[in-house]
Amino acid sequence: DTGVSQDPRHKITKRGQNVTFRCDPISEHNRLYWYRQTLGQGPEFLTYFQNEAQLEKSRLLSDRFSAERPKGSFSTLEIQRTEQGDSAMYLCASSLMIYQPQHFGDGTRLSIL
Amino acid sequence: AQSVTQLGSHVSVSEGALVLLRCNYSSSVPPYLFWYVQYPNQGLQLLLKYTSAATLVKGINGFEAEFKKSETSFHLTKPSAHMSDAAEYFCAVSDHGSSNTGKLIFGQGTTLQVKP
């Protein structure tokens, strides 16, 4: 069990630029989740994949956000035309079954200049 | 819809004292409940889980939690605090009812400070 891996750990970019984050879940886990965490708050759900299918998206996920999970393995989260309000920690988690705990990566911290 | 409320955004205890972090939930279906711990600039680490088995759940690092349906509570306790327990603690409920995705709904978190 190598754990959930996220890359990069930190991303600093200028407002208006596009950014992409990657998540590698635990290999046998077919469920993959993205969350966003702002300072002093609990994580908030963004989107969920079961294998390669994106089955739910939060209202937090505006049109500037897109996520993919090709072939049901790693996942990417892209933010286009970044805004100041996008500054947050983006967390990825995976699990095997619905009643089993989600395992989290260390997150990608996004800072918008 | 599921929701979680953590009472007390900051809790301060002395080393060796009892730790009690409060969590109340709301769920339209029998809940799956979790406690996670987060250290600075890291992801969340699972402390323990309740998935409708024993109501007293033991987790890692000496933590335990008791599920009380009548009080809709899932408070986290540890008999004796250690300096290394200082961190942010999150209670979460799984959404396995309406959407059936298993997404987690988190409370706002409680910062635990341990004084020497």
pLDDT tens, N- to C-terminus, chain A (113 residues): 579 999 999 999 999 999 999 999 999 999 999 999 999 899 999 999 999 999 999 998 889 999 999 988 999 999 999 999 999 999 999 999 887 899 999 999 999 99
CA distance A68 to B38: 27
Q: Does B106 touch chain A (CB under 8 A)?
A: yes
Q: Which residue does chain B place closest to A106, by CA atoms?
A: B43
8 A C-beta contact, residue A20 and residue A77: yes
Q: Do A45 and B105 touch (CB under 8 A)?
A: yes
CA distance B71 to A69: 40
Q: Which chain A residues are within 8 Å of B90, Cβ to Cβ?
A: 42-43
Which pLDDT score is estimated for B39? 93
Q: Please, what's the b/e burial string for A54-67 (b: 16 or more CB within 10 A of its CB; e: otherwise)?
A: bebbbeebeeebeb
Which amino acid belongs to residue A99? Y
Q: Do A102 and B102 touch (CB under 8 A)?
A: yes
Judged by DSSP in three states, B109 sits in coil
Residue A102, C-beta contacts closer than 8 angstroms, at least 6 positions apart = A31, A33, A93, A94, A95, B46, B102, B104
Q: Which residue does chain A place closest to B51, by CA atoms?
A: A99
Confidence category of residue B98, pLDDT binned at 50, 70, 90: low
What's the token pair of residue A75?
């996942």
Q: Which chain B residues are within 8 Å of A50, Cβ to Cβ?
A: 101
Q: Mean pLDDT, to the nearest integer, of B68-87? A: 96
Give the minimum alpha-carbon distance from B52 to chain A in angstroms, rounded to a whole number.
10
Q: Which residue does chain B place closest to A89, by CA atoms?
A: B41
Confidence category of residue B31, pLDDT binned at 50, 70, 90: confident
Q: Which of residues 41-100 of A touch B (CB under 8 A)?
A: 41-45, 48, 50, 55-56, 91, 93, 95, 98-99
